[in-house]
């Protein structure tokens, strides 16, 4: 059995072996630049970990792991254009370093390159994994669209928000696990349990992200907290707060959030005052726990000895307990 960190290393080596020194250079250089960013390689590591549950060798899953990682990086590349983000993983984003046209076309090429890894799968495996990969890819686009739509919406419901993060983030983690399991020889039911594990863990992870942005220990977090408040991001915390507050208080919070004249730290403090009165931190932690437990439940259901699953249990706990 491989640990997650070992699998991340295997994938990093595989990525380093990929040849992006192809022509036209203006198409492939940004692809190489993006793939050489210091990503955490979580999705491909999960593909391999899921495969490893059912097969000693993780080799059959490597092309699928690469497909997921390249696809994930494609979404970051195009999302960065849409969000006009200047920096990604401490490097200039492609549309800033080159230009928007280059970022669009290199992104398109990356999406196709992701599919390219699937082409050498045995016919029957391709037939099972291709629809999973493809449906997921479409859902990720849907999630990104909801995310952009929400920016223009005054109120977003908790249900809408969970659906958005499910599509934008969780389905890719879920599908990575499912596809890896299928590569390892899992049956449909086992693969679906891994999908459920990934889906719920992904949602827990994303809500955790929102919580840390406001409530992390700054010394461990490594950056300022409160950024989501300043950028008026519709996080789980804000959405939940708006849901729990009465009409007057809700309007007051909305006015505060959109007020750009208050000094940043003062604004963060005042928003947190709202949050604390209705115990947002507790509500959010409850939600994280709810999805975390659903994830663990699915993992337990897989009829394999617990020591085989220990890598994934550890990974889930790491997600739950992370401080940054």
Q: Can residue 155 be called a binding residue for a second copy (CB under 8 A)?
A: no
Comparing CB distances to a second copy, the nearer of 164 and 207 is: 164
Size of the site for a second copy (CB under 8 A): 38
At residue 210, the 3 state secondary structure works out as: helix
Contact 257, 230 (CB under 8 A): no
198 Cβ contact partners less than 8 Å away, ≥ 6 residues apart:
46, 170, 173, 174, 175, 176, 177, 178, 295
288 Cβ contact partners less than 8 Å away, ≥ 6 residues apart:
204, 207, 208, 211, 320
Q: Which stretch of DSSP H or E encloses residue 110? A: helix 100-116
Contact 240, 158 (CB under 8 A): yes
Part in contact with a second copy (CB under 8 A); list of ranges 110-118, 213-221, 263-271, 293-301: 110-118
Torsion of CA 140, 141, 142, 148, to 10 degrees: 110
Nearest to 70 by CA among 36, 39, 102, 35: 35
Instruction: Map the footprint of a second copy across residues 35-94, applying CB under 8 A.
Output: 78, 81-82
Q: Can residue 131 be called a binding residue for a second copy (CB under 8 A)?
A: yes
Q: Give min distance, CB of 22 to a second copy, in A.
A: 9
Q: Can residue 105 be called a binding residue for a second copy (CB under 8 A)?
A: yes
Q: Can residue 26 be called a binding residue for a second copy (CB under 8 A)?
A: yes
Q: Give min distance, CB of 115 to a second copy, in A.
A: 5
One residue of 21, 38, 40, 124 binding a second copy per CB under 8 A: 124
Part in contact with a second copy (CB under 8 A); list of ranges 20-28, 85-93, 222-230, 299-307: 20-28
One residue of 104, 245, 254, 262 binding a second copy per CB under 8 A: 104
CA 138 to chain centre: 15
Q: Can residue 162 be called a binding residue for a second copy (CB under 8 A)?
A: no
Part in contact with a second copy (CB under 8 A); list of ranges 112-120, 183-191, 233-241, 293-301: 112-120
One residue of 18, 27, 262, 319 binding a second copy per CB under 8 A: 27
Please state the three-class secondary structure of 227-245 as a single string. HHHHCCCCCHHHHHHHHHC
Q: Give min distance, CB of 196 to a second copy, in A.
A: 22
On the CB side of 143, CA atoms within 13 Å amount to 22
Nearest to 51 by CA among 174, 172, 200, 185: 185
One residue of 46, 47, 48, 137 binding a second copy per CB under 8 A: 137
Comparing CB distances to a second copy, the nearer of 49 and 137 is: 137
Q: Which stretch of DSSP H or E encloses residue 87? A: strand 87-88
Give the separation between CA 30 and CA 43, rounded to whole angstroms.
21
Q: Can residue 144 be called a binding residue for a second copy (CB under 8 A)?
A: yes
One residue of 15, 64, 94, 118 binding a second copy per CB under 8 A: 118
Q: Kindly list the residues in this chain that would bind a second copy in the complex (CB under 8 A).
A: 23-24, 26-27, 78, 81-82, 100-101, 104-105, 107-109, 111-113, 115-116, 118-119, 123-124, 126-127, 130-131, 134-135, 137-138, 141-142, 144-146, 148-149
């Amino acid at each position: 059995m491989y640990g997650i960190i070992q699998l991340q290393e295997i994938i990093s080596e595989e990525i380093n072996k990929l040849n992006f020194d192809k022509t036209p250079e203006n198409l492939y250089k940004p692809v190489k630049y993006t793939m050489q960013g210091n990503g955490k390689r979580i999705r491909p590591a999960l593909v391999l970990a899921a495969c490893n549950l059912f097969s000693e060798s993780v080799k059959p899953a490597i092309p699928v792991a690469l497909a997921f990682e390249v696809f994930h990086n494609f979404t970051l590349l195009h999302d960065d254009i849409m969000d006009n983000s200047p920096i990604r993983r401490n490097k200039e984003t492609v549309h800033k370093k080159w230009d928007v046209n280059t970022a669009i076309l290199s992104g398109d090429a990356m999406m196709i390159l992701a599919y390219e890894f699937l082409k050498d799968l045995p016919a029957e495996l391709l037939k099972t994994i291709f629809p999973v990969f493809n449906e997921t890819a479409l859902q990720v686009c849907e999630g990104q669209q909801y995310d952009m739509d929400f920016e223009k919406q005054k109120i977003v419901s908790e249900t809408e928000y969970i659906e958005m993060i499910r599509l934008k983030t969780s389905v890719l983690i879920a599908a990575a696990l499912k596809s890896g399991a299928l590569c390892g020889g899992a049956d449909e039911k086992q693969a679906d349990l891994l999908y459920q594990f990934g889906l719920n863990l992904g949602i827990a992870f994303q809500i955790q992200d929102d919580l840390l942005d406001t409530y992390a220990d700054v010394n461990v977090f490594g950056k300022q907290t409160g950024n989501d408040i300043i950028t008026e991001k519709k996080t789980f915390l804000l959405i939940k707060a708006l849901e729990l507050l009465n009409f007057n208080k809700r309007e007051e919070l909305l006015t505060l959030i959109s007020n750009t004249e208050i000094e940043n730290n003062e604004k963060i403090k005042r928003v947190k005052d709202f949050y604390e009165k209705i115990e947002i931190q507790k509500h959010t932690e409850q939600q994280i726990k709810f999805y975390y437990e659903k994830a663990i439940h699915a993992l337990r259901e897989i009829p394999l000895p617990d020591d085989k699953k220990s890598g994934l249990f550890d990974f889930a706990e790491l997600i739950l307990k992370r401080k940054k």
